[in-house]
Every structure is written in structure tokens, then in C-alpha cells.
């Protein structure tokens, strides 16, 4: 396919073009020029690249079909805003879709939309209305390197642009009417501006509409546009009719012009308004009146044009919210009737509906009381509207349930909870973990294992579910404790350190019993024993769920509280007599414990009470032999005491 070329200066731009919606003879406007079909039928979509050739910005077209990422239909319901200019990407008030041309991803790309049509030879009045909002990224390149946008209306016979309605924007810091984006400092934008294209003198001629966006030539700065084409091509005005039964109406001229001048008749002798809208009363402006409005564009952005409103009467649309409904409270009930593309719909109770702007929305939120839904149906051509109401009366299933007993149980127990459906005028099916329980169809149910239980309840033809009950088997605590010393000295405090755990980390309560009638309830505790020999210490740990476990250990109490050390040990890793260490008992603290071989070389040393020697040196097992030990500690008189001795290592 041959390549097509176009030359123009390039700039980084985001544009929004819109043809203002009005009401006209449907056959006068070219088919789908307004994108009402929701696609690009009759439009030519192009894609290409942009570069500088001989000092001129040049576009080379190489694709001739819509690119989903760069030619995108925007539905009329879209509420998004442009990320740089913060203006709506769908034209305010437009009844037809918009199109996004290009994208904010730069790549020295160009994108185009082209529409060619012939104005009917019999047309005495033919006009197009468009609005645009522009956003330009301004990287500060040379003009021929900048991103750029242009809109052109071409007389195909002469290949000439129609005067004062074609625009060419090149990004710079001095473009009139532009503001700097608060999101990105290198971006400037121009908010909505309208242009009227009067083509009344071109009857029977072929016209081409062109929109083209392009990035900068260095692949770093983007340009894109939003385009919306309305359905009015004969210069008529929205709301030019009194609705039957009404005595007033509002005429609305196209949005986005600088000034408006309304006149009472075609003589243009009496100006009656200067805003976009004009309120009329049938007593002062009867049916059959013709009211012109002169629309003045902002300076430099189009030509002055005149539109006409011929006042008539029109029937109100047939609004239908549908018949009153009695239905299940939580079922998704559909309202309304069949859609009419010529109507616009708006429902109240919007938070309860799937889409309040369609003819037949679905109720998506539960109803618990009778609720009225009102639909406003507006004829897009005339602006007339009518209201209709539907009442939805919900059938509310009584799902109340109660539980007795505990929702938790210990490993040596069975669940004690009982679940009860209160409403006796129902059908019941119990579920466990979302699976129906075979035969569990009574009002009362007792779980037999852990899981999540609930009841499906049917009443009056409607089905609902009860609240969920989670029955859990709780773990036993794992009690454990250690003493500060293996052998205790009579009438001296002994520290008990609690190492109890539980799998679910829930809080625990403790009870210590020391065999002499004394108890403690703290996590860690201290006890002085006054009786020689063995004493049984019991730790009872209880969880918040009521699961209890018990541990008992024997404590040896002696009267001779001097440090004790064995004379031999057997470090063969059988768990018996493997570690050589002192038992300090009444000593107030260890200073240093050390072991030497027969040549006086140090093989082990520690300053931490409880640590001992395992018969190795630097990780190597030592052979059977006699070793010398020294012990330094603080005695009961708070003085440093030193003792020495020997120990035999037996392999």
C-alpha cells in the first residue's frame, strides 16, 4: 500500500474536540459522524510516524485501521477526567460518544481521523458545532520538532480549508488561553472552547473533516485528543418545543462559546437574552415563534454563527417504571421496561440499583421495607420528560437463630453448642463449611466437630441464610518451666521461669503449687523451700477457652549449700552425666568457672551460671584424663570465693 505524507509543525498535545449536541433532521447529518453507532463506521483511522524532513514536520501514514490503543471510543456514561487538565474526557452534556485519538505514550507517532461526506444539494442551512479542550506537553524543542495537533475542514473540490474553522496548535509557552497543568509542569492545557462551522454555502459539495495528533520527533513527548461529534447539522436548538401540558421550556445553545445573543424574531431587532440558556413561557412566546441566537466564539477560535429555534409542541415520552412488585428481599429484581435509544433515563434510589441511568436497572441491595423507585424518562430530541413510579414490597425471611453452649471445645471433649432457628414457619437446611449436612433439616442442630455452620431458611417462596457460627477445637497448652539451679538451698529463694506455649497464642492463666500448701498465679515466680529433700512443684496452665494442662517436676532441697561439683563425668551424649558444671545453690553469683588440662592449658571457661563443659576443646572430643578446675563465685557474705579441684573425664 502506498505511503501518504502530510507536513505540519509538531507539538505535544492533549485535545478534546466535541460537536455540540442539538436536535435536527436525522437524515441531514452524515451517518455516524457523531460516533453514535459506538464504532468508527464511515471514519478512516490512520496511524503513522512523525519526523523532520528538510526542516518541515512530516507525517508518514502506514496503517489505515483503528488501533485500540490510539483510536478509542469513550461511552457517554464515562465520568473520567483528563489526568493533566482535569477536564471531563467525555463532552459535558453530549448525547453521543467521544473518541480518544492518540495516547500519552510517546513514540514519535501520529494518529488521524478522517470523514468525507457530501452536503445535500437541497440543504439551505448546514452547520457543524464542535468544542475542544487542549493539553500540550511543552518540551521546548524547535517548532518543527514539537508535538502538535490540527483540526481541518476541507472543501474537497478546491482542496482549501474552510475559513476560520480550521486550527493548528504547536506547543509553546505563549499559546493564548492556555494554563499550566498542576500535575506536570511541562504540560499546558486549554479548557473547553466551542466552534461553529457554517457550511450553508457548500450545498452539493464534498467536505472532509480531519483530526490529526502527533508526538514530538524524539519519541519522548506525547500528543492526544478527545473528539465528540453531535447530531445537529441544520442549526436548530435543543428544547425548541413546549411539552404537552407544560407552559414553559428552556432553549439551550451550544456550550462553550464566548457570548450569546438571543432575539425575539428573525428581524434581530429585539435582543432578549445573553446567556447559553433562555427561559420561555407559552404566553409570551407562542407556538410557531422563531427565535435566533448569535453565537460568538472566543477570539481566534472560530467564526460567528446564527442558530434558530422554531417553537413547537411535542408529546411527553412514555415513562414506565414497570408494575408494582412483591418479591424476595435479597433477590436482584429488575425494574422498568425495554430501552428506547431516543430516551434518557434517570432513577432515584441510585445506591440501590445496578445502573440508575438505564431503562431497566436491577435492584442490587437488600430491601427490608416497601420502597418506591421513580424513573425520569427524557426524550433526547425534545427535552420533554415524564415520571413513573414502581413500588417494590420485599418478602423478608426471618433468619433469626440463637446458640446455647460454648462455640469452642478442648481436644478431649466434644462440642457442646446447640444451634436453633427461631422461626417455626420455615424450611431449614443446615450447612457445614458451605456443604449441606445430610439429614440436618430440623430447627435445632448440634455440631459434632469444628467448622463453620449456618442454616438455609425458606419462607414464603424466598430463601435466605442465617448468621454463621464457627465451632473450633482449641489446643491444649504445653506447660514447661525451669529453675534457676538444679539443687536448691534450704530457705533460699528459687526462681521458676515459665516456658509454657500454646499453638494459637491465646492468653494463658497459671497456677503454681509447691507441695506445702503455698501457691502462685504469676507467669514466673519465686519460692523458698523450708523442708529438706524432694519437693513436687506443679504448674497448671489454662487457656481462655478452658483447656487445661499440668506439668510436675521434682526439686531437691539440701542444707549444705556450698558449691558442688562432680568428681567425674561421661560426655558420651547419652543424656546422662554429659556436662561438667558447678551447682552453686546458695551462692549469689558466678564470676568464672574454668577447666585446664594437665599441662595447664585452658580447655573451657564461662562466666554464665548454668553453662558447663562437654568434654571438648575447639569442637574436638578430648580423651579420658584428669583435668583441673577453678571456680570463682560470690558467696552469701557478698565476698569473692575461689575453689579448685579435679575432675576425671571418662570415655
Q: Which residues pair with 438 in a beta bridge?
A: none
Residue 641, CA atoms < 13 Å, CB-side half-sphere: 15
- C-alpha 315/C-alpha 309 separation (Å) is 18
pLDDT at 20: 34
Looking at the DSSP assignment, which residues form a beta bridge with residue 482? 497
Chain segment 140-191, per-residue pLDDT in tens: 999 999 988 888 999 999 999 988 788 888 888 888 778 899 999 999 888 7
Cβ contact 576:585 at 8 Å: no
Res 142: pLDDT? 93
Domains along the chain with CATH numbers? 4-228 (2.60.120.260), 241-314 (2.60.40), 325-395 (2.60.40.60), 401-473 (2.60.40.10), 481-558 (2.60.40.10), 568-649 (2.60.40)
Instruction: Report residue 157: phi and psi, to 5°.
Output: -60, -45
Query: Hey, what's the cell of 240?
Result: 425548541
CA 108 remoteness from chain centre: 33
In degrees and rounded to multiples of 5, residue 440 shows phi and psi of -90, 80
Distance (Å, rounded) from C-alpha 23 to C-alpha 33?
15
Neighbour order of strands in the sheet with 493-498: 481-483, 493-498, 525-528
Splitting the chain (651 residues) into consecutive groups of 10 residues, what average pLDDT does each group show?
38 33 50 91 96 94 94 90 93 84 91 94 83 85 91 93 84 83 90 78 93 91 88 70 89 84 94 93 91 87 83 92 94 93 90 94 94 93 89 94 95 95 89 96 95 94 94 96 82 90 95 95 94 94 95 89 89 93 82 95 94 94 96 87 94 89
Residue pointed to by grid coordinates 473533516: 209
* Residue 12: partners with Cβ closer than 8 Å, 6 or more residues away: 106, 136, 137, 138, 139, 146, 147, 171, 187, 215, 216, 221, 222, 223
- In Å, how far from its chain's centre is CA 114? 38
Residues in a beta bridge with 494: 527
Rounded distance, CA 594 to CA 119, Å? 110
CA 514 to chain centre: 59
- Find residue 280's DSSP bridge partners: 249
HEC readout, 508-533 = EEEEEECCCCCEECCCCEEEECCCCE
Q: What is the DSSP letter of 523?
A: S
Check if the beta carbon of residue 172 is closer than 8 Å to that of residue 180.
no
Task: Tell me the sheet residues that pair with 595.
Answer: 604, 629
Give the number of other Cβ atoms within 10 Å of residue 53's Cβ: 13
Q: Which of 418, 454, 450, 416 is nearest to 436 (CA)?
A: 454
3-state secondary structure 533-548: EEEEEEEEEEECCCCE
Q: Report the Cα–Cα distance between both ends of the chain, in Å, rounded.
A: 95
DSSP state of 623: P
Are 648 and 626 in contact, with CB atoms under 8 Å apart? yes
Q: Which three cell numbers stand for residue 588?
A: 549469689
Report d(CA 406, CA 399) in Å as an integer: 21
DSSP tag of 162: P
Which pairing describes strands 12-18 and 223-228: parallel, antiparallel, or unpaired?
Answer: parallel
Closest CA to 637 of 592, 590, 593, 588: 588
> 286: Cβ–Cβ under 8 A, 6 or more apart, which residues?
311
DSSP state for residue 253 in the 8-state scheme: P
How much is the pLDDT for 239? 63
What per-residue confidence (pLDDT) applies to 468?
97
Grouping H, G, I as helix, E, B as strand and the rest as coil, residue 200 is: helix
Q: Rounded CA gap, 651 and 646, in Å?
A: 16
pTM equals 0.51
- The whole-number pLDDT of residue 236 equals 67
Q: How far apart are CA 346 and CA 353, in angstroms?
A: 11
Beta bridge partners of 525: 496
Radius of gyration for the alpha carbons in the chain, expressed in angstroms and rounded: 45
At residue 350, the 3 state secondary structure works out as helix
What DSSP assignment string belongs to 257-271? -SEEEEESSTT---E
pLDDT for position 16 = 34
Please say whether the beta carbons of 430 and 445 come within 8 A.
yes
Place of cell 493539553: 135
Amino acid at each position: 500500500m502506498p505511503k501518504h505524507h502530510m507536513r505540519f509543525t509538531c507539538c505535544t498535545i492533549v485535545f478534546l474536540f466535541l460537536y455540540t449536541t442539538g436536535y435536527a433532521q436525522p437524515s441531514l447529518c452524515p451517518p455516524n459522524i457523531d460516533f453514535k453507532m459506538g464504532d468508527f463506521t464511515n471514519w478512516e483511522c490512520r496511524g503513522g510516524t512523525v519526523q523532520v524532513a528538510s526542516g518541515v514536520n512530516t507525517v508518514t501514514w502506514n496503517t489505515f485501521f483503528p488501533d485500540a490503543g490510539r483510536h478509542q471510543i469513550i461511552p457517554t456514561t464515562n465520568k473520567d477526567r483528563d489526568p493533566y487538565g482535569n477536564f471531563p474526557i467525555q463532552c459535558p452534556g453530549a448525547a453521543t460518544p467521544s473518541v480518544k485519538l492518540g495516547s500519552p505514550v510517546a513514540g514519535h507517532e501520529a494518529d488521524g481521523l478522517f470523514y468525507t461526506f457530501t452536503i445535500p444539494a437541497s440543504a439551505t442551512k448546514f452547520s457543524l458545532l464542535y468544542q475542544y479542550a487542549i493539553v500540550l506537553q511543552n518540551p521546548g524543542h524547535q517548532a518543527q520538532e514539537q508535538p502538535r495537533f490540527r483540526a481541518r475542514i476541507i472543501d474537497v473540490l478546491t482542496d482549501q480549508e474552510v475559513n476560520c474553522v480550521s486550527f493548528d496548535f504547536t506547543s509553546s509557552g505563549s499559546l493564548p488561553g492556555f494554563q499550566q497543568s498542576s500535575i506536570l509542569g511541562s504540560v499546558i492545557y486549554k479548557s473547553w472552547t466551542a466552534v461553529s462551522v457554517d457550511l450553508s454555502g457548500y450545498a452539493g459539495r464534498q467536505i472532509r473533516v480531519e483530526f490529526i495528533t502527533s508526538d514530538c520527533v524524539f519519541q519522548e513527548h506525547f500528543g492526544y485528543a478527545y473528539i465528540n461529534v453531535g447530531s445537529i447539522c441544520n442549526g436548530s436548538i435543543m428544547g425548541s418545543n413546549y411539552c404537552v401540558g407544560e407552559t414553559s421550556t428552556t432553549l439551550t445553545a451550544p456550550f462553550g462559546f464566548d457570548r450569546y445573543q438571543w432575539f425575539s424574531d428573525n428581524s434581530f431587532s429585539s435582543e432578549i437574552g445573553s446567556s447559553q440558556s433562555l427561559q420561555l413561557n407559552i404566553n409570551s412566546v407562542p407556538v410557531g415563534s422563531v427565535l435566533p441566537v448569535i453565537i460568538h466564539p472566543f477570539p481566534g477560535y472560530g467564526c460567528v454563527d446564527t442558530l434558530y429555534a422554531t417553537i413547537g409542541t411535542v408529546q411527553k415520552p412514555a415513562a414506565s417504571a414497570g408494575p408494582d412488585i412483591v418479591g424476595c428481599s435479597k433477590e436482584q429484581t429488575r425494574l422498568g421496561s425495554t430501552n428506547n435509544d431516543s430516551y434518557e433515563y434517570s432513577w432515584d434510589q441510585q445506591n440501590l440499583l445496578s445502573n440508575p441511568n438505564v431503562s431497566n436497572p436491577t435492584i442490587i441491595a437488600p430491601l427490608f421495607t416497601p420502597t418506591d423507585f421513580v424513573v425520569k424518562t427524557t426524550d433526547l430530541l425534545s427535552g420533554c420528560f415524564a415520571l413513573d413510579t414502581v413500588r417494590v414490597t420485599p418478602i423478608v425471611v426471618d433468619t433469626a437463630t440463637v446458640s446455647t453452649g460454648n462455640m469452642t471445645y478442648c481436644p478431649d471433649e466434644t462440642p457442646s453448642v446447640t444451634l436453633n432457628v427461631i422461626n417455626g414457619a420455615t424450611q431449614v437446611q443446615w450447612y457445614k463449611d458451605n456443604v449441606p449436612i445430610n439429614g440436618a433439616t430440623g430447627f435445632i442442630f448440634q455440631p459434632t466437630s469444628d467448622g463453620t455452620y449456618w442454616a438455609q431458611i425458606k419462607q414464603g417462596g424466598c430463601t435466605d441464610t442465617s448468621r454463621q457460627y464457627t465451632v473450633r477445637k482449641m489446643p491444649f497448652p504445653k506447660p514447661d518451666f525451669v529453675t534457676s539451679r538444679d539443687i536448691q538451698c534450704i530457705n533460699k529463694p528459687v526462681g521458676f521461669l515459665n516456658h509454657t506455649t500454646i499453638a494459637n497464642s491465646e492468653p494463658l492463666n497459671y497456677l503454681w503449687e509447691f507441695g506445702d500448701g503455698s501457691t502462685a498465679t504469676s507467669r514466673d515466680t519465686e519460692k523458698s523451700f523450708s523442708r529438706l529433700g524432694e519437693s513436687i512443684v506443679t504448674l497448671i496452665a489454662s487457656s481462655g477457652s478452658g483447656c487445661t494442662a499440668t506439668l510436675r517436676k521434682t526439686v531437691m532441697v539440701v542444707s549444705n549449700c556450698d558449691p558442688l561439683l562432680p568428681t567425674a563425668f561421661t560426655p558420651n551424649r547419652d543424656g546422662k552425666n554429659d556436662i561438667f558444671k558447678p551447682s552453686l545453690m546458695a551462692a549469689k553469683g558466678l564470676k568464672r568457672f574454668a577447666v585446664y588440662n594437665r599441662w595447664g592449658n585452658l580447655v573451657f571457661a564461662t562466666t554464665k551460671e548454668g553453662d558447663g563443659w562437654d568434654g571438648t576443646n575447639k569442637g574436638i572430643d578430648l580423651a579420658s584424663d584428669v583435668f583441673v578446675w577453678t571456680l570463682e563465685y560470690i558467696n552469701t557474705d557478698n565476698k569473692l570465693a575461689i575453689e579448685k579441684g579435679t575432675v576425671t573425664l571418662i570415655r
